[in-house]
Structure 1
Amino acid sequence: METYADLLTTIAPSTGETRTIFDPATGEAVGEAPVHGVADLERAITAATAAQPAWAALGHEGRSAALLRAADAVEHSAEELAQLLSREQGKPLNGPNARFEVGACAAWLRTAAVTELTDETVVDDGATHATLHYRPIGVVGAIGPWNWPMMISVWQLAPALRMGNAVVLKPSEYTPLSVQALIHVLNSELPEGVLSVVCGGREVGARLAEHPEIGKIMFTGSTATGQAIIKSSAGTVKRLTLELGGNDAGIVLPDADPKAIAEDLFWGAFINTGQTCAALKRLYVHEDIYDEVCNELAAVAAAMPMGHGLDEANVLGPLQNKAQYDIVSRLVEAAKESGARVLMGGDPDTGQPGYFYPTTLVADIDNDNPLVAQEQFGPALPIIRYSTVDEAVAMANGLDVGLGASVWSADLDAARSVAARIQAGTVWINKHGAVDPRIPFGGAKQSGYGLEFGVEGLKACGVPQVING
């Protein structure tokens, strides 16, 4: 495969209904995606059920070797995958974007392959001998999002495959082409039927969640959809890993150096143009350094070019779809109408093609403003002033979500003390959103439950079995 067009050709539907996918930066057609239905899903599940026992029988060593070969295949097609991803999702090639995402796919595959998971002797006292093992679940259903379509698909499928399961994956209707291409590449190194992709709508997702042959659902997306999956899966008592919506808080303590932290603050908030579940979405800054942090952050933001993803100079792209553009626009308008101070942005050029919303910083905003209280999932960051750490912690904990959070300080002990008080699945110190395939990741409150990554992520894709005797 020499170009992304060649890659598109390999996944182009030959028969059946199709849907045109458009570039969110230009409005131009990218390619045709199949429109699968429940019958297609049933065929994929039947194939997965048939293929899974032989895959499980390979053992950890055989499955790990296959995943390592799959990682090599991703790297071999990395540029073609990144080009397609940029056209379909909108994210630029450079910065922590399309090429970064494809590289993360290979990294997560490799980590899932080499992470050790050994049987554990839990009691051996002479009278009792008990060991804990993890067996394959069977067939795992994965439902992915549109913001990091390739990377999050790998977050789901890599540990599930490593643990001896087959996987049926349903990508977002917004970004089916990049996920199809990724699965095509992975399947060059995997047995037939073990991994499949079904590009359907809500009815396909609902059937996947309720299907009696699916033993686990892994889902990344909104809290509302997660709640629907919980209800659909209840009849078959499925295992669930749910990474749901977040509205991550960052707290800047008064001893922080505004200039030193400004760039990391920026990328914590604006990675993937703000379209990241665990991005920094509301920033609490102590009054002593509030103006300085605002100024330094604005200086960094002003230097970050936004535009078409295939332009090598750009590091920020469009919002992926019109619905998300409208959400960001509505929330920023509400902030402006409330009298909040717009430091930069907030006034999109509606004459240009694509769903571009300018990098926007909003200061002097109330904590109950919709831009603060609702997840914007885009390039608009509210900056809230606080007087005491207790006040900041209370505001950070004041919502019903808790995916990630961060604390910024020159004093690590002080930062860790504050971090321990925050209700979130991960709290980073002097960084935000820095996920690592070795470190468990999951949400608190209505940001979901279950852990991904590392040993805990592998365990979550298996059935624990104790042998006592």
Structure 2
Amino acid sequence: MTITYATLLSEITTPDGRDIFDPATGELVGKAPFRSVEVLDAAVARAKAAQPSWAARTDEERQSLLVRAADAIDAATEPLAELLSREQGKPLNGPNARFEVGACANWLRATAATDLPGRTLIDDGETHAEIHYRPLGVVGAIGPWNWPMMISIWQIAPSLRMGNTVVVKPSEYTPLSVLALAHVLGTVLPDDVVNVVAGEGDLGARLSSHPDIAKLMFTGSTRTGQAIIKSSAETVKRLTLELGGNDAGIVLADVDPKAIAQDLFWGAFINTGQTCAALKRLYVHADVYEDVCRELVEVAKTTPMGRGLDEDNVLGPLQNKAQFDIVAGLVAEAKSSGATILTGGTPEADAPGYFYPTTLVSDIDNSNPLVTQEQFGPALPIVRFETVDEAVDMANGIDVGLGASVWSADLDTARTVAARIQAGTVWINSHGGVHPMIPFGGVKKSGYGLEFGIEGLAAVSAPQVING
């Protein structure tokens, strides 16, 4: 059956639902069915009832169904991408809506192809011990509004592969995208294996304390993650938490500024800066500082921003007014402190949508709030440094550590600097790229637990040692 945008929307909306508006235009996208805690409890009960038969399938059967689910997403790429663009704001092209939908399919296939076999730990003639990985039961997943479909798949795919069922609570800002994704998955997967319940924050609080949720996966703010840790304590729930970022990039003196400018730009401004592991504070050696600033301005000025359904645009609006206000406030504070606005910094008055212009800020102190706080939007502070020790100290000087990057013509030097940075991932001459076989997770207040690859499968499993 061919899925169109209109039929997809009719399947997931309800006349008495919550109005969801396009952040680029203010137009109504659809009415999302916001549900109560009682409805969530019923979904958990259905997932719990469905889990034994799902776990009883062979691993090969689950792999095959994940691949078929990926095929179903591919077949519905255009309506899914259009809905995502309208609801989240991101453009169709560039590393945005079509990219995100494609990543969902690719992640399902990669998860299906990844093996986590049991193995013999010791067999010395006296002792024989093996480790195996069993399903946990029902996995709860709470997703964000910046990459709503892709991050949901990051939570769903490994959970299903290991024999768990899933209950997803999407962000109240982007529920339609995740409901649509679940609808497409449901054309292939058995009933109640994936359940999506949209609603307010009380649903997330219930998931984190629910006695029948064995594991909770959350991507979002550090503050919410801390609340989840507290509310999950009584049930001793396993947690994977990918929390706030504020990633640093360090540009050494030996770079070619023009050669790295595009990659630097997209490391910072992918999804219009609304990415946990985006480059959010850039430290540049004094010898190349002016040249790097100049080249970044040139890229910014030639990168079109506008409504996502316009095929020419690759940058979009902020997803919601609260985030717009955060970015605008931080840039205004930087201006008042005497920092230089190289480009951007002044949104168009009375324009529709939450568009904040691509903004580059130089001559800014490392203690400025635009540097120390995660702006999560299209504004990049660029800080000058004189020595590598100074740059590393500034990069490590805050309480989060999701990702970071080092930029240098000398890979050995870059790797040496990278090893000194307190972050879960440090990229060399790029920033923010993820791979389904490379573990991803943060340190410090950026959370704990790993996603992706073998480690990600283990994280949604109960290890069992058989000794004897």
With the shorter chain as reference, the TM-score category is over 0.9
Structure 1 runs of 4+ with >6 Å offset: none
Aligned residue identity for 1:424: A
Q: How big is each residue's C-alpha offset from its partner over 1:61-113, in whole Å with a ceiling of 9 and x where there is no partner?
A: 11111100000000000011000000000000000000000000001111111
Paired positions, count: 467
Shift of 1:2: 5.0
Residue in structure 2 matched with residue 368 of structure 1 by the alignment: 367
Secondary structure of 1:234's aligned partner: coil
Residue in structure 2 matched with residue 425 of structure 1 by the alignment: 424
Aligned residue identity for 1:235: E
Aligned residue identity for 1:287: A
Residue in structure 2 matched with residue 379 of structure 1 by the alignment: 378
Q: Please give the TM-score of this superposition, normalised by the length of structure 2.
A: 0.99
Residue in structure 2 matched with residue 8 of structure 1 by the alignment: 9
For residues 297 and 70 of structure 1, the distance between their equivalents in structure 2, rounded to whole angstroms, comes to 40
Residue in structure 2 matched with residue 315 of structure 1 by the alignment: 314
CA contact (8 A) 1:25 1:356 kept: yes
For residues 374 and 3 of structure 2, the distance between their equivalents in structure 1, rounded to whole angstroms, comes to 40
For residues 439 and 190 of structure 1, the distance between their equivalents in structure 2, rounded to whole angstroms, comes to 27
Q: How big is each residue's C-alpha offset from its partner over 1:362-382, in whole Å with a ceiling of 9 and x where there is no partner?
A: 000000000000000000000
Confirm whether residue 230 of structure 1 aligns to residue 226 of structure 2. Answer: no
Residue in structure 2 matched with residue 93 of structure 1 by the alignment: 92
Q: How big is each residue's C-alpha offset from its partner over 1:143-171, in whole Å with a ceiling of 9 and x where there is no partner?
A: 00000000000000100010000000000
Structure 2, unmatched stretches of 5+, are none
Identity across matched positions, percent = 72
Confirm whether residue 350 of structure 1 aligns to residue 355 of structure 2. Answer: no
Aligned residue identity for 2:184: V
Residue in structure 2 matched with residue 67 of structure 1 by the alignment: 66
CA contact (8 A) 1:149 1:175 kept: yes
Secondary structure of 2:48's aligned partner: helix
Residue in structure 2 matched with residue 271 of structure 1 by the alignment: 270
Residue in structure 2 matched with residue 341 of structure 1 by the alignment: 340
CA contact (8 A) 1:59 1:164 kept: no
For residues 3 and 127 of structure 1, the distance between their equivalents in structure 2, rounded to whole angstroms, comes to 63
Shift of 1:352: 1.1
Shift of 1:237: 0.2
Residue in structure 1 matched with residue 24 of structure 2 by the alignment: 25
Q: How big is each residue's C-alpha offset from its partner over 1:313-372, in whole Å with a ceiling of 9 and x where there is no partner?
A: 000000000000000000000000000000000000022100000000000000000000
CA contact (8 A) 1:402 1:446 kept: yes
Secondary structure of 2:338's aligned partner: coil
For residues 420 and 2 of structure 1, the distance between their equivalents in structure 2, rounded to whole angstroms, comes to 48
CA contact (8 A) 1:27 1:354 kept: yes
Secondary structure of 2:234's aligned partner: helix
For residues 222 and 350 of structure 1, the distance between their equivalents in structure 2, rounded to whole angstroms, comes to 30
Shift of 1:60: 1.4
Aligned residue identity for 2:176: L
Residue in structure 2 matched with residue 52 of structure 1 by the alignment: 51
For residues 26 and 4 of structure 2, the distance between their equivalents in structure 1, rounded to whole angstroms, comes to 21
Secondary structure of 1:236's aligned partner: coil
For residues 257 and 316 of structure 1, the distance between their equivalents in structure 2, rounded to whole angstroms, comes to 25
CA contact (8 A) 1:405 1:422 kept: yes
Q: Please give the TM-score of this superposition, normalised by the length of structure 1.
A: 0.99
For residues 59 and 129 of structure 2, the distance between their equivalents in structure 1, rounded to whole angstroms, comes to 22
Residue in structure 2 matched with residue 43 of structure 1 by the alignment: 42
CA contact (8 A) 1:139 1:216 kept: yes
Residue in structure 2 matched with residue 398 of structure 1 by the alignment: 397
Shift of 1:59: 2.4
Q: How big is each residue's C-alpha offset from its partner over 1:161-207, in whole Å with a ceiling of 9 and x where there is no partner?
A: 10000000000000000100000001111111111000011111111
Residue in structure 2 matched with residue 440 of structure 1 by the alignment: 439
Residue in structure 1 matched with residue 452 of structure 2 by the alignment: 453
Aligned residue identity for 1:413: D
CA contact (8 A) 1:56 1:164 kept: yes
Matches within 5 A, 1:155-194: 155-194=154-193
Give the root-mean-square deviation of aligned CA atoms.
0.7
For residues 59 and 460 of structure 1, the distance between their equivalents in structure 2, rounded to whole angstroms, comes to 20
For residues 12 and 277 of structure 1, the distance between their equivalents in structure 2, rounded to whole angstroms, comes to 29
CA contact (8 A) 1:108 1:154 kept: yes
CA contact (8 A) 1:402 1:443 kept: yes
